[in-house]
Structure formats: structure tokens, C-alpha cells
Amino acid sequence: MGLKAVEDLIEASSGVHFSGFHLENTDPSTSVVEQPTTSETENIKQPFVIGVAGGAASGKTTVCDMIIEQLRDQRVVLVNQDSFYHNLTPEELKRVHECNFDHPVSAFMRHWIAVHKFHPSFGLDAFDTEQLLSSMEKLKHGQAVDIPKYDFRSYKNDVFPARRVNPSDVIILEGILIFHDPRVRDFMNMKIFVDTDADVRLARRIRRDTVEKGRDIGMVLDQYSKFVKPAFDDFILPTKKYADIIIPRGGDNHVAIDLIVQHIRTKLGQHDLCKIYPNLYAIQSTFQVVEHGLGHLPFTEKQVITPTGSVYTGVDFCKRLCGVSVIRSGESMENALRACCKGIKIGKILIHREGDNGQQLIYEKLPNDISDRHVLLLDPILGTGNSAVQAISLLIKKGVPESNIIFLNLISAPQGIHVVCKRFPRVKIVTSEIEIGLNEDYRVIPGMGEFGDRYFGTDDD
């Protein structure tokens, strides 16, 4: 089908037309729209979770502090597994030296205890893993949590006020046994194991437990030989195989920590890069819409002499052309227009939305001779049509003939198309997709949310 046949077909239509589709009897008041359900968590930015494990006094906290210090331009929170120790009962307090603070309970034992309703004299699992999982689940879904502060002198977690932890870009989960439970491991994007010599760990433990936890040296050594060392060999060291990165010498290994921080920065940067991936399709669609819109302009025959001396007959625009973008979403289509039309003039219109239907013109800067030009109006989303009507009305007020306006957009709602075509029947609309309709908030559905925010990467601000 030639260009002439296409033009004849368009003229034979009802006069209200747009590229790709022709709506008949489209009445917004009779449109029934079923809005698809969407999970509330789809738009929540997932945090980057780092697990740091290792033996007691291996330097885990030092490594975490160094990572936090170097990631100071990111929101980082630290969650310690030590905060989730079980409270000791009065009976356990009488024999505290027999309590194993480094012992996990396996999934099999947890199931066996639940089935048989077995209540041991001393907790098999030193940590309240269920509370830890609940806290991590809330943080992952953007909810603030209260983390208890465990007092190693009274062996209670209700002596001090709980610490309020807000959702962050990075969550560091630190503890001796955080790699043991696969449910906890599943939360982690990166797993680090701090590997330090056993003698160094023992020396650090003696100094820490005597100064910070108020224990005597004899008790520390007895607990180390009876519980700590066997637990490290049986439960902590085997989890080393789950680590993505192993850091020898802990906080003294500055090279390893620098490399880890660089990797974390790269992964965090991919959060922002992810915003660009959907734009690739939007950019491609924009070029197609612009090129199709140019095809609706009037042409005149033009002959040029090629370098070989032959005459080539082509077409040229018979009148001047300009673009007008509706700030700010419309600016996403400007590059495609400039690529297709070198040196084209582009004007700007800023329309502020007030409520559901009210529109207010805030700013306009248009070419002085716009009345003598064909205008490509750029706005990627046509929803209610109110902004489009306001923009087109301004162009007509500036002297642009209605037939000289071509409205380019990527996504349209039937209601918006009906409003524009009913008000301005000679305006051409070129769109790449007609969606289901509008929801109760007058947003295009399924649509793609706030196009400007998503395109320019400001949806998380």
C-alpha cells in the first residue's frame, strides 16, 4: 500500500484518527476497568544484605565497622546475632557456667522438639533464631524493627531499651552462627567469613570477656575449652564453605576489606543501573513513534544531484517543523526527535496537575514563529487527556493551526484519546500502545507508573 493510499484511507475515516488503532463508541463513562492486583512489596527497594561470620573474637565487629566507615555515603545498619541470645531462666542462672552460648539447634532437632513438645533444662539453641528471622523479614520489606540489647552480666535482653533499626540500603548481619541456618543464609547477598588464628582469638576473648562481660579468667578458659572450642570445630568452622569471601587476619587485612567495599559499591550501583534497563525499550519505542509521526507531515518533491552526477528525486518537508515537550516526561522523547531531525527547535510547556481534573499552566517557552510551523507535541503518557488539552489549547492560542499539530506519546488510555479527539478532531495522535483504561486515581493501567520518575531514575526520592 503506497503513501497516497494510506492518506486516502485516513481521510476516509471519521476525521478522528491516530496511529495503529481506531476507537468507535469510546465513552469514558461506560468503560469498565478491572484493575489488576499488585503486591505491595513490588515497589520496595530491596536492601543489600551482608553476612559476616567467624569464630568468637575473630574480628567480625572490626571488619563490619571498617565496611560501614567506607560506605559512609550509603545508609548502613548493623544487626548483631548476639542481640538474639535467649534469656536464661532462674534455674539456668544458677548453673550459668554449664550453659553453652555457642550451640545451634539443627532443623531436625527443632522439628523433633516441636513434635515431642520437649523442653530441655538448658536451651539447645543459644539464639532466638525465629526472632532474628522475623526482624530480617521486616527490614527486607521496608519496616523498622526493635532489636533487643543483650546484657551479658545479667543474661537478659530486657535490661536495656531495644535499639530501633530503620530500613537501609545495606544491612550487615554479624554473628558466629549466622551461616548455620539456611533460612538466615537465604537473606544474604554476600557472605564473609573472618578467619583468625585460634590463639589470637583466645587472647582477644580473655581480654573482652573480663573487661566487657565481667567474667573471671578461670571461667573464660573453662568455658572456652568446654564449649567455645568444640562449638567452633563442630558448627562454626564447617559453615566456612558457605562464604563468598574469606578474610584472613580480620580487621588487619585492609586490602581484602577495600576490595569488598569496592564490590559492594558496584552491586549497589546496579540498583541504579536497573532503572536504565526498561528505558532501552522506551527509547526504541520513542524512535518508532517519532519516525511514524514524521510520516504524517506534508512533503514536497525535491531533486538533488549526487556526487556521481545523477539526479535523485526524493521528498522534503514543505514547511518548517518544531517540537514541544510537556515537562518533564516529554523531555524523555527529545533525544529521539533531535536524532531524526538535526537542529530542530524544541519548546517547553510545564503544566501543574491540581487534583483529578484541574490543570494549571506554570511555564511555557515556545519558538516565536511557532504559528508558521508544524508542531510535534511530546508527552509519553496520555491518561485523562487534561494535560494534552491544556497544551494543545496553548498551541492553538499561539496561532498554530489544529491540523498542524501531531501529538506523539508511548502509552494512551482510551478515555484520554476520546477527550483529545472530541475536543480537537483535526489533531493527529501517534501512540505505540493503548492500555486498558484508568483506575480510581486517574492513572493509566497497567501503565508503568510515573514515567518521568522511572525514566530519569528519581522514583526512590
For residue 446, count other CB atoms closer than 10 A to its CB: 14
For residue 167, count other CB atoms closer than 10 A to its CB: 18
Residue 73: the pLDDT is 64
Q: Would you state the cell numbers that stand for residue 388, as one nine-digit string?
A: 494534552
For residue 241, count other CB atoms closer than 10 A to its CB: 9
**Domain residue limits, the chain:** 3-33+276-456, 48-273
Compare 460 and 40 and report the one with higher pLDDT: 460
Q: What CATH code is assigned to 3-33+276-456?
A: 3.40.50.2020
Q: Would you state the cell numbers that stand for residue 150, as one nine-digit string?
A: 543483650
Residue 443: the pLDDT is 82
H/E/C letters for each residue in 337-395?
HHHHCCCCEEEEEEEEEECCCEEEEEEEECCCCHHHCEEEEECCEECCCHHHHHHHHHH
For 84-99, write each residue's pLDDT tens digit.
988 887 877 777 767 7
First-to-last alpha carbon distance for the chain, in angstroms, is 49
Compare 373 and 118 and report the one with higher pLDDT: 373
CB 283 within 8 A of CB 451: no
**Residue 121 scores a pLDDT above 60:** no
Q: Identify the band that residue 14 occupies on the pLDDT scale cut at 50, 70 and 90.
A: very low
For residues 167-179, give the mean pLDDT: 92
Q: Among 42-51, 212-221, 340-349, whose mean pLDDT is lowest?
A: 42-51
pLDDT above 90 coverage of the chain, percent: 32
Q: Which fold has domain 48-273?
A: Rossmann fold (3.40.50)
Q: Identify the band that residue 110 occupies on the pLDDT scale cut at 50, 70 and 90.
A: very low
CB 172 within 8 A of CB 162: no
Measured between alpha carbons, how far is 356 from 278 in angstroms, rounded to an integer? 28
Give the mean pLDDT of the chain. 79
Tell me whether domains 3-33+276-456 and 48-273 share a fold.
yes
